[in-house]
Each structure stands twice: as C-alpha cells, then as structure tokens.
Amino acid sequence: MVSRRNFFSILMMMAVMFFMFQFSQVAREGQSNYNTNIYLDGEVLSGDGRWRAEDSDMFGGEAGYAVLFAGSGSPVETVVSQWCEYTKRRLVVCGGVEDYTVSGDSLPEAVLVDSSAVDLAGAMETFDEITELGITLIFCNLPDPQVIRASGELRKLLGIQSVRQDNIEVEGIHLLSGFLLGGESMYLAETEEQEKLQDLELNVPWYITAGGTKTYMVGELDKLLKDVEAKNEYFPGLIWRNGYHQASVFVVNGNYMDSMQGIGILDAMMYEADSYAIYPIINAQNILIADFPDFAGENDTKMQELYSRDTKGIQQNVFWPALSGMALRSQYRLTCLMAAQYDYTDGVEPVAETIPFYLQQFRESNAEAGLSLTHATDTDLADKLENDDAFYNSAGEPYLFGAVFAEEQDLERLGRELSDRTFLKNVRTIACETQENVPVVSYYNDDVTLQSITTLAPVHKYSDNLRLKCYETALGYSNTLVDMHNILWPEDEEDRWENASEDMVSNLDTYWKPFSEFQNTTLSESDARIRSFLNLGYQDEREGDIIRLKLFHAGEGWFLLRTHGERIADISGGEYQEAETDAYLVHALSDSVEITLEKERGILNYEPD
C-alpha cells in the first residue's frame, strides 16, 4: 500500500514531467517557424541565361558538335537533340548522307545514324571517310536484317560476323558491367514474380558479332545454349562497339534510342570511345509523395472499411509515421505535395486545421511541402485553383510553396495561372508525369523549371531499372513518385497501403542503392541544381595526367568523371567523391578546376578499338 507521502511525491513528479514535456513541445513549436520554406531561400538563375547552341561563343568559344543523319521529327532526332543540349554540343542534322561533306577543318565529335533514314550500303564511302578521320560513329538502330546480310562491307563496318536469324525471342537481357552506372543487371524472368517484371522487348534479330568487338548488352539464350560454352559474341548482340579504321563504331540493335533513356547510352558510348569522359550532371535524387496529405477526406467510407480509420486518422497515425521513418532511415528528403481536394462536385469541403501539424512535421523531417494540382476529370483547372487559393490563404500566414505536381493535360494552361494565384506566386518548379520524348528536365518558362517523373516507387519493372541506370549515367538524377491518390482511392489489392508501401520500400532500398553517392534533395533543391546545369557552359582538355575544366556562367556545378583504370590523385578548385569504380562525382566550386589523375596499379593505358 502506498503511503500518502509517497503518493504525493509521485503526483508531484508526474506534474513536473508533464510540465517539462509540454514546455519543450511549446518551445519547439515556437522556434520551429514551420510555415517558412527553408528550401526557397535566395535568388535563382533564370532561363534567360541558359546555354544555347547558337550562343555557344558566349560560353568560352565555339562548342563541339555532333552530326546526325535522320528524318525530320524522328524519335532518334528528339533524343540526340536533347543529349546535345545537356552535354553542351551543337547538333547538325542532315536528312541524308549526301547532305554532309566530311571536312578536316572542323571535325564533329560524333556522327550518329538513324538507319531508317539512310541507305547504309550506299553510304559506305562516307562512312569510310568518317572513320578514317577517327570520328566516333554511332548507329542508333539497324535496318532490316536482309540489308545487312546482303552487304559484306556493311557487316565489316558494323562488326557483324553473320546474321544467324532474322528474328528470335530471347529469354532475357544481360547488361554487362562498366557501361552504364549501377553495374551489371540480368533482366531474366526465371520465377513467377520475375515474370511480372519482364516488359523489355525480347524479339530481336540475332546478329553474331565479329571477333574484336566489345559487347555491352546481349540477349540471353541460356536454355538454347545450356550445353554450349558460348562467349558474349555468340549471343544476340544488342549494344556493342567495333573498331573500324581509326574510329570506334557503336551499334544499337533495338529501339533503345527511341526514348529519353538514349541520353545515358550515348554518354556511355562517348566514355567508351576515349580515355576518359567528363560532363555536367544535376546530382539530385527526389522522392515525391503526391496527394499527401489530403485535407478533404472524400473517401472516408472506403478508408473506414479498409483500415477502421477515417482519412485524417490513417494519414496521421499510419501513413506519415511510415513515410517519415523511411526518410529518416535512408536519409531521403521528401517533397510532400499536399492536396486540398480532388472532386469539387461531391459537396465535401477540405479542412485546414491540420495544415500546421503537417508543416511542422515536414520541417522536423527535412521535408518540403509542395502542392498537388490533380483533380477529377469533370473539374476545370481554373475552378480548382480558385478554390485552392482561398483554402490555403485561410490557413493563416501562407507557406511559400515552391513546387507543384501537375498532370500532363494541365501543363499548358498552368503557365497562365501561376502569376494570377496568390498561393502559386512563388512556384519555381513543376513536377509532371512522365511523357514520351519530353526532356527529363527543362525550363517550362524563364522563371519555372519542369522536372519529369522518372519512375514510380511502388512499381519497378525491368524497363524502369534500365531507364533509371540511363538517367543516372547521363544526369545523376531521379525524380521518383509515390502516388498516394491510388492508396486513398484504391482500385485493387495492389493499391492497399500494406502492399504498396512494402513494394515502395523494397524498391527504393534495392534499386537506388548503387546511386547512394548522389545527393538526396527536395524539389526546390533540385530546381536550383537544374538551373545551374542548364545554364552552364564548360570546356575540358587533358594534358598528360591533368584534366583542366573551365566553367562559364554558372559559379559552380556538378560533373561526372569516368576513367578507365585511373583515379583522382589531386584536385584544385573543387572537391570529389567516388561514385563507383572508375566514376567520380566532381563538385566544381570555382570557374577553373584542375584534376590530376594517376593510374591504378597494374592498369595499362586505355586504347579503344
């Protein structure tokens, strides 16, 4: 039995502890200044100063250039054009080989060919002239196998020993290590679960590459060749390099250059063609949580049915603790794109009372609050923005929203609305659903950038992984979406939180792990880096073991340096860290950077075929 004296002491102790905890919470709330967007500080670069090929003389002189043989408006032209813009090259597009004259006065760094627009066999004289001058030659696709079978000269140029079959269904795709960042991958479906991931094109012509070629990606035929010890040259080649005259000739067998993933393949080819490669990247990894939190609770009935909680309860007590825990464990910086309302005709109105709670939670978790502009199909964008403007301005001192998430169909109209809505006046960047053959990052207008979604976190098929490796190789960038609308409005079992969250965490912890040296950012942070990336011009040259890098109109920038068996011994004007073997993340802190390389022990000089 507790005495009165001990009981009184216990009560006093509980009162003191209660006061201390309450006081610390009040102090934390008073000092957190949660309604300030810390990621929106300072001036940012404008699109008016972006690098343009026609103005390249303002960025240290005439830029290097590439030549493309392609039909006007082809997917290959779109990809190559964007690659040139990102790598600060001019692009000369020729409709046919006859429109191009090889000149020794000013040689291109690469000549690229869309085989659908060129008579390859009839262009052999031009290809001979190009390769004799040591110019890298890239075939972005191949013609019908019959064309290749009919020309021995063409096969020799392409590094093809024979056409084994016009078409074969391979069992999977094998990406070898050292080409794209992220290492080797075997895209093979050997289990029922892997069958769900296989979405790559498996029907390809079977070309057996010649001796001396170097293969980077092949089709797998394990069952057919289970009793044969075959080298990669025997498998159906998908991407390879051939040495011809004085040049490297790269060949793509398939449609891998028809979408924006091709920018990574091209950067990898240019690296393989020389002793080193250094080019600008963004260095930003975003995790976007779209439609979170939802302030209207329009689907409360379904939430009660599935989780025995309304929308407010499930978001605060289940979704957010799981998301913030994931961010803390993996050091992600989330951008939570809040949704005022989805269906503006159902009579359910959003409630602003929990806005301060979430802004405080985001601030303490190093997350940024943004806005989701998704809406039901029968709601006009202007009506939504008018309602949302009134809603967010009713929540007290307004938070400065720097980032929004929009659907593709609203992009054009959104530009006219940004300056007219109080709650959108500080928006600097728009995240948008992935669009075919649209730049990964670009200027939406001179004041606002556009960041495409590169992948969905809960869904990561084989094509998603290949695309991720391409974007990381080209840009050091990913913009990953967790769409909470699907969870709040579930259509099947896969949309339930317990299933979607498990897939999301598993994918992020697995497929993004090779790129952990790239920095985690919020949308506004990556916006600032994208502006530097798009605006800068640069030059690089190598003399002996020293690489000199010169930047123009940027102040600082991020670069990827890839070598063949060499490592950085010293650097001035910047800093660096190793991203993976033979790949270094270089942070240029001034407009002049000098990098000294040294050979790894036992590594000979790199000489491409």
Cβ–Cβ under 8 Å, residues 372 and 405: yes
pLDDT digits (tens, 9 = 90+) for 19-78: 444 444 444 444 457 778 999 987 889 999 999 988 877 766 677 999 999 988 899 999
pLDDT digits (tens, 9 = 90+) for 278-297: 999 999 999 999 999 999 99
- Looking at residue 29, its pLDDT comes to 47
The total number of residues written for the chain in this structure: 609
Helix axes 355-364, 4-32, angle to 10 degrees: 90
Highest mean pLDDT pick, 216-230, 374-388, 458-472, 554-568: 458-472
Q: Is the pLDDT of residue 15 over 90?
A: no
- Rounded CA-CA distance 150/121 in Å is 9
SS3 readout for 543-571: ECCEEEEEEECCCCEEEEEEECCEEEEEE
- Looking at residue 100, its pLDDT comes to 86
Task: Say which residue the tokens 């890839």 belong to.
Answer: 562
For the chain, percent helix, then strand, then coil, each to nearest 5? 35, 30, 35
- From the centroid of its chain, how far is CA 398? 31
In 348-396, alpha helices (H): 355-364, 381-393
C-alpha angle 337-342-347 in degrees, rounded to nearest 5:
140
- Our CA dihedral for 481, 486, 487, 489, rounded to 10 degrees, sits at 150
pLDDT digits (tens, 9 = 90+) for 98-141: 888 887 678 999 999 999 999 999 999 999 999 999 999 999 99
Cβ neighbours of residue 70 closer than 8 Å, sequence gap 6 or more: 76, 77, 80, 93, 95, 112, 113, 114, 117, 140
- Rounded CA-CA distance 75/292 in Å is 35
pLDDT digits (tens, 9 = 90+) for 373-418: 999 988 899 999 999 999 998 877 778 999 999 998 899 889 888 8
- Rounded CA-CA distance 75/256 in Å is 11
What is the overall mean pLDDT for the chain?
A: 90
Long-range contacts of the stretch 484-488 (C-beta < 8 A, 24+): 484/289, 484/290, 484/291, 484/292, 484/294, 484/319, 485/290, 485/291, 485/339, 485/342, 485/372, 485/374, 487/319, 488/291, 488/294, 488/299, 488/303, 488/311
- Looking at residue 521, its pLDDT comes to 98
- Our CA dihedral for 551, 556, 557, 562, rounded to 10 degrees, sits at 70
In 418-515, alpha helices (H): 462-475, 484-488, 497-511
> How many helices, marked H, and strands, marked E, lie in the chain?
17, 29
Structure tokens at 125: 């004289």
- Looking at residue 416, its pLDDT comes to 84
Helix axes 320-330, 497-511, angle to 10 degrees: 10
Position 154, amino acid: L
- Looking at residue 230, its pLDDT comes to 54
Q: In which region does residue 582 sit, left (phi positive, over 0), alpha (psi from -120 to 50) or beta (all else)?
A: left
Q: Are strands 65-69 and 90-94 parallel, antiparallel or unpaired?
A: parallel
Mean pLDDT of 490-508: 92
Mean pLDDT of 327-349: 93
**Predicted TM-score of the model (pTM):** 0.92
- Rounded CA-CA distance 443/284 in Å is 17
- Looking at residue 31, its pLDDT comes to 45
C-alpha dihedral sign at 465, 466, 470, 473:
positive
- Rounded CA-CA distance 513/538 in Å is 30
- Looking at residue 17, its pLDDT comes to 56
Position 471, amino acid: Y
pLDDT digits (tens, 9 = 90+) for 160-217: 999 999 999 999 999 999 999 999 999 999 999 999 999 999 999 999 999 999 999 9
DSSP string spanning 198-233?
--S--EEEEEEEPTT-EEEEEEE-TTTTTT----GG
- From the centroid of its chain, how far is CA 121? 37
Q: In which region does residue 568 sit, left (phi positive, over 0), alpha (psi from -120 to 50) or beta (all else)?
A: beta
- Looking at residue 10, its pLDDT comes to 59
Helix (H, G, I), strand (E, B) or coil at 252: strand
Give me the phi and psi of 327, to 5 degrees please.
Answer: -65, -40
Structure tokens at 75: 């997917």
- Looking at residue 462, its pLDDT comes to 98
Cβ neighbours of residue 489 closer than 8 Å, sequence gap 6 or more: 299, 302, 342, 495
Cβ–Cβ under 8 Å, residues 443 and 449: yes
- Rounded CA-CA distance 126/135 in Å is 12
pLDDT digits (tens, 9 = 90+) for 257-274: 999 999 999 999 999 999
Give me the phi and psi of 606, to 5 degrees please.
Answer: -85, 125
Cβ–Cβ under 8 Å, residues 153 and 186: no
Of the ranges 49-63, 435-449, 485-499, which one carries the lowest mean pLDDT score?
49-63
Structure tokens at 142: 């191949």
Question: Percent of the chain having pLDDT more than 90?
Answer: 78
Question: How would residue 329 be classed by pLDDT, with cut points 50, 70 and 90?
Answer: very high
